[in-house]
Structure 1
């Protein structure tokens, strides 16, 4: 019985499937962090761009955001 448990423990120690799953998990979490940071940094700029496009399509008057105040652009009809 003891030799069976010893052989089982040895096979678990050299099994690489769990390590691969952990590596993929770390990679996915790093990609998620990069996406969150990019959206946070570019969110205001993207908002201003979409407001400008909305004004262009709807023939409105676009008022750009003040310097350093991304995300505050407006559109008047």
Structure 2
């Protein structure tokens, strides 16, 4: 029994798996946070561009000059 307990305490395979699991979880949280933040900004930008293009109608002005994009 004592030998089995010593062998169990020396095993590190489970600890390594737990560490990799924690790292994967932290990476997933970081990716989700980044995508949510970026998603809101992209939605705002495309909504703004869409409304600007709609307001041009059949005008001959370019979208970039009329909507002041890139400045």
TM-score, normalised to structure 1, is 0.57
Count of matched residue positions in the alignment of Structure 1 and Structure 2: 54
Matches within 5 A, 1:33-44: 33-44=29-40
Give the number of the structure whose residues are more often helix, by fraction. Answer: 2
Q: CA deviation at 1:40?
A: 1.3
Counterpart-to-counterpart distance in 2, 1:34 and 1:62: 30
Aligned residue for 2:25, secondary structure, equals: helix
Q: Which runs of 5+ in 1 are unaligned?
A: 53-60, 65-74
Q: Kindly report structure 1 stretches of 4+ aligned residues shifted beyond 6 Å.
A: none
TM-score, normalised to structure 2, is 0.61
Calculate the aligned-residue CA RMSD, in Å: 2.4
Q: Which runs of 5+ in 2 are unaligned?
A: 58-71
Give the number of the structure whose residues are more often strand, by fraction. Answer: 1
Structure having greater relative contact order (Cα 8 Å, sep ≥ 6) = 1
